[in-house]
Structure 1
Amino acid sequence: MLYLKFLAMHIKVQLQNRKSFIIMTIGQALMAFTGVFVVLVIMDPQQVVMGFNRHEVLVGAAVVMVSFSLAECFGRGFDTFPVLLSNGQFDRFMLRPQNIIYQIFTSTMDFTRLGRVLVALIVLFTSLQQVEISSYWLLISMIVSGMIVFVCLFIIYGALCFFTTESLEFMNILTDGAREFGKVPFSFYGKRILNFLTYVVPLACFQYYPMLVLLGKEGSSIYAYYPMFALVFILPSYGIWKVGIKHYRSTGS
């Protein structure tokens, strides 16, 4: 499979300087730990906030962290997308017969982000020892759905760059910001924010709602299917990307 060849190539390239790779991976892990440390500090082990104790909050935080880190690891190409536009390299992508989104995904990968994934998984499995969950399959679907939602946000970010040719910092509110806000269940931020993260940007569809079912909280059993509803976000994301492509003007034109 061609994608696996690209994957192996990026791994080989990044391991050329192993010391640098290890240091950067450790740095990413430490950054992830600081986020977890905040939750550990502000919440006592027996404290319950809006129906969630500390271990349950950490489960939700870990889901968001794993999802975001995996998306950032394999979708790094869209993070550097403004550079492709400004230096004219995107023209090469347009000339190739392969799908453009596929090319961007395979152009850049950052495996140092796996340091964050490792910390998040440790936090997740440690927290799961203290709580009972209804289904591991639901937990996996939350992580996979979350990764797809973040990838869609990266694609939207890339599409908007067609109109500005510069990076759009406000999109970080929905990507890096969501990673930070996701340290606690999204319901903590109020009904309006929760509705926005449900019907506009479906971040709550893979974190808060299915977590109610996962942890046996009160709520409709249909919440277990919300990770699948979040996948509908692929359609508007791809639509925005297509509009951006039509707006693109080559640097040579």
Structure 2
Amino acid sequence: GSVLENVLIDENTGLTNYNDVSLTENTRAAYPIDAIDNIMLPSVAGHPNTIVFLTADAFGVLPPISKLSKEQAMFHFLSGYTSKLAGTERGITSPQVTFSTCFGSPFLPLNASRYAEMLGEKIEKHNAKVFLVNTGWTGGEYGIGQRMNLSYTRAMVKAALNGDLDNVETRKDEIFGMEIPLHVQGVPDGVLMPEKTWTDKEAYKAKALDLASKFKGNFKKFTSVSGEIVELGGPLV
């Protein structure tokens, strides 16, 4: 049988009442894997060649795709930066900056630095490529710019997974330090550089520096993390 959490069982019928929201609006279910047809056993895959971190930057200053070094991957993994968006969070009407450690803060039984160390070790051992993909705003922050075109994001992720971006020409982001591909098939070159999409260049720089400051402020809580991760992985300014 299945194991259900946070659901109400009707005492008379013994059945789950999925319409009852007194405990929670969403539910969790667990069941044996052999209850699913067409499974693959053992259910274990190999090591990934490419790792993609997703973020939704409401500031509109992070590149739509960027290549991360091992240290940058560890820094951004620990930071877990994104924006809470309307429609995905109760009470959210406009995007709010959030940092969720390892992109899943509530679910970490060990010290966060241990997960970052494991990630760094596996990236190095298996020579995995890491990309940060921003599906958030371009051409300005929320209210001024617009959401990244989904077809562009798909093209960028596809290129990353296919290895098309492994040896392309890049430019280092002057504020955040990651390498930005200059060309991605199916994506206009101008979209790849956040600053070029903003009409007001000074406003872009101010907003980018603001976000960089937020990254640094959030990272102060990781007192047990190697200083090398902060120095080589974090913003340059």
TM-score for the superposition, normalised by structure 2: 0.28
Question: Hey, which of these two has a bigger chunk of strand by percent?
Answer: 2
TM-score for the superposition, normalised by structure 1: 0.27
Structure (1 or 2) with the larger CA radius of gyration: 2
Question: Hey, which of these two has a bigger chunk of helix by percent?
Answer: 1
